[in-house]
Chain A
Amino acid sequence: MTALIEVDNLAKTFDVSAPWLNRVIERRPRQFVHAVDGVSFAIERGRTLALVGESGCGKSTVARLLVGLYEPSRGKVAFDGVDTRATLASPNARSLRRRMQMIFQDPYASLNPRWTVRDIVGEPLVEHGLVSDPGQLRAEVGALLSSVGLALADMEKFPHQFSGGQRQRISIARALATEPEFLVCDEPTSALDVSVQAQVLNIMKDLQRERGLTYLFISHNLAVVRHVSDQVGVMYLGRLVELAARSQLFQAPRHPYTRMLLDAIPDIAMTGRARTPVQGEVPNPLNPPSGCAFHPRCPHANARCTTERPELSRYQGIQIACHAVSEGRI
């Protein structure tokens, strides 16, 4: 198996300083948020990597960096062995964009309300010159709609005539229009009800099997991640803290943060199970803690954790960034 996506030491810093005049008068320093701070992973062709974490951990920023919606501050992304940043700046950008697409969280905001479904799903086809005449466009859009379980007649309708789940299927059909190899899905089911979520997740799985798609799946819902992923990366304050195969991560989580997240999910199969109370909240990313960013909430933190930042390293078949684990304390 070869990796389709290779991400190496990727970072994105946002400048959130006050305006220049305020900085001068109030003597305030420049301020930066390290939204993504040195993330590395690879996704094999036809597999799904899920990134999980709480709000503000940088998982959506990673998604946007991968498809080129943000420029990385540091590090690089290789798609099929080619550096995406250089390619997107070159005349070959179109052919690369055609090969990777994105599905966004909110199907109410990501579809143009004044366009019919045919325009929405057909736009990538026209834009990339994949169809030559209106008849072919119709046929292609029809085929895409039926692959996500929508009817041919839906082509002439507008987004407001559809429910949330149907809209998300339109988004998927649009993303599939250019026959991409790689799909970045940023919380694709978070805005949906559970029964509709099940429909969308099933469609995504079927499409992956049929077309050999590679997914980066961003979610905060661990149960959904467990259902769809092959590999799982857990993020905390812009860094990966644990990266492991799905079964390993869910059966034997190693990082204290992963354990905390798993303990925190209510599960319907275990009625009445007492959850381990989680202490504290995610710290302010403007002013992250020294050393390991998780140490103020971690039950296993010691002096080293407060000063020295652990790097993500291989340990017993998984990748983990934790002093307590690498020292064998837990």
Chain B
Amino acid sequence: MTAPLLEVRHLKVEFPTRRGTLLALDDVSFDIAPGEILGVVGESGAGKSLTGAAIIGLLEPPGRIGDGEIRLGGERIDNLPHARMREIRGRRIGAIFQDPLTSLNPLVTIGRQLVETIQVHLKTGAEQARRRAIALLQETGIQAAEQRFDQYPHQFSGGMRQRVVIALALAAEPQLIVADEPTTALDVSIQAQIIGLLKRLTKDHGAAVMLITHDMGVIAEACDRVAVMYAGRIAEIGPVADVIHQPAHPYSVGLMGSIPSMAGERERLLQIDGAMPRLNAIPTGCAFNPRCPQAFDRCRVHQPGLQTVRSTQAACWLHAAGHGGPA
């Protein structure tokens, strides 16, 4: 196994409030290898976007990293000064966000936005940057790139805008791309095109991807490994096929069962009763215990760490040796 490109260790993100500090991410650890696509899945408020924001150094104040470290290619990046982080962002880490319209400047042609990005990070001449920008647009499947180069974002459709955003993210050949819900705002037929594009480009450029989404279908199709998040912690992490077909954590089981499938018949969907706890009311022990059908005493008192189960790792006492609970 090669050295991981991104290492996240015991990451904590906290929000100080008047009524005490809220822990939005608690002890999150994972790696991404070069060229690997790691999916991060979870429901609203699980902390998946926050994990992405912490890695690219764009946590909204008052949110802050409370503990832990993030390393990119062995170098710590979580405690860098803003100016240094700005150089890394775009150059070594590219970002793709959900809404392509808000990621682009509406008053500047897409060509200028690309050229500017390329010149800032790669220190090239204007003509070279222009050629590279057009090549990038062509590579992301934009037809007649030369003509569209001088158009404004509003002249592009949603799917085309997202291609421009991908071209921007790839402009400086970053090693890591953080894609936060890149296809959520798009129609299914366009979604398929964008996922295909993302997969192909990252393979061609050898970039690693952290793909944040709530859509298990996208994860199943695009990722090598997946991390399931719940209430600010990783509930389960492992190879995609194993997590989908043999989930080890009861939350993953419920999550997979609640997705209406295109195969097989089911009269009722499996449902997880209740809702994810708010940050100020996270239960003691395992955060999932009030909704868990298999919870036992230990779950209500002690927080489980990740346990190795077959090929995946799950934060669940059911899989701890001699757990003393129901089998």
Contact = CB atoms under 8 A, between A and B. Distances in A.
Nearest to A282: B187
A201 B214 contact: no
Interface string A77-96: 00000000000000000000
A271 B44 CA distance: 24
Interface string A20-56: 0000000000000000000000000000000000110
Contacts of A205: 267-268
Given A55-B187, A227-B269, A266-B217, A275 B275 contact: no
A273 interface: yes
B43 A198 contact: no
B262 A275 contact: no
A81 B21 CA distance: 62
A308 interface: no
Interface string A163-194: 11110000000000000000000000000011
Interface stretch (B144-152, B252-260, B295-303): B252-260
Given A193-B214, A268-B259, A198 B270 contact: yes
Given A165-B275, A261-B188, A275-B221, A195 B254 contact: yes
Interface residues of A, number: 44
Contacts of A262: 262
A281 B261 contact: no
B260 A278 contact: no
B275 A166 contact: yes
A221 B309 CA distance: 33
Contacts of A138: none
Nearest to B275: A163
B249 to A, nearest CB: 13
Contacts of A271: 220-221, 240-241, 244-245
Contacts of A139: none
Contact of A226 (B220, B260, B267, B275): B260
A264 interface: yes
Q: Which residue, of A197, A198, A224, A282, has the highest number of chain B Cβ atoms within 10 A? A: A198
B159 to A, nearest CB: 6
Contacts of B294: none
B196 A194 contact: no
A156 B325 CA distance: 40
Contacts, number: 127
A269 interface: yes
A266 B221 contact: yes
B124 interface: no
Contacts of A282: 187
Given A202-B268, A268-B244, A194 B187 contact: no
Nearest to B271: A198
A270 interface: yes
Given A193-B214, A196-B275, A205-B268, A223 B192 contact: no
A277 to B, nearest CB: 6
Contact of A195 (B193, B220, B263, B271): B271
A199 interface: yes
Nearest to B188: A264
B259 A260 contact: no
A220 B244 contact: no
Contacts of A263: 192
Interface in A249-278: 250, 260-273, 275-278
B191 interface: yes
B118 to A, nearest CB: 27
Nearest to B242: A271
A54 B270 contact: no
Nearest to B187: A54
B316 interface: no
Given A268-B244, A270-B263, A275 B192 contact: yes
B157 to A, nearest CB: 6
A191 to B, nearest CB: 10
A269 B264 contact: yes
A222 B187 contact: no
Interface in B231-282: 240-241, 244-245, 254-264, 266-273, 275
B220 A266 contact: yes
Nearest to B195: A266
Contact of B259 (A55, A194, A270): A194
A250 B189 CA distance: 17
Contacts of B188: 54, 220, 222, 261, 264-265
B216 interface: yes
Given A195-B254, A195-B272, A275-B196, A269 B263 contact: yes
A266 B263 contact: no
Contact of A261 (B160, B189, B218, B261): B189
Nearest to A227: B260
A264 B192 contact: yes
B273 A268 contact: no
A162 to B, nearest CB: 9
Given A199-B271, A282-B187, A267 B261 contact: yes
A201 B275 contact: no
A281 B186 CA distance: 11
Contacts of A198: 257-260, 269-272
B193 A278 contact: yes
5 contacts: A165-B275, A264-B192, A271-B221, A271-B245, A272-B241
CB-CB nearest 3 A-B residue pairs: A266-B217, A198-B258, A193-B43
Interface of A: 54-55, 163-166, 193-199, 201-202, 205, 220-224, 226-227, 250, 260-273, 275-278, 281-282
Interface of B: 43-44, 157, 159-160, 187-193, 195-196, 214-221, 240-241, 244-245, 254-264, 266-273, 275
Given A227-B266, A264-B191, 13 more contacts: A54-B188, A165-B275, A194-B255, A195-B43, A198-B270, A265-B262, A266-B192, A266-B220, A267-B262, A268-B244, A275-B192, A278-B192, A281-B159
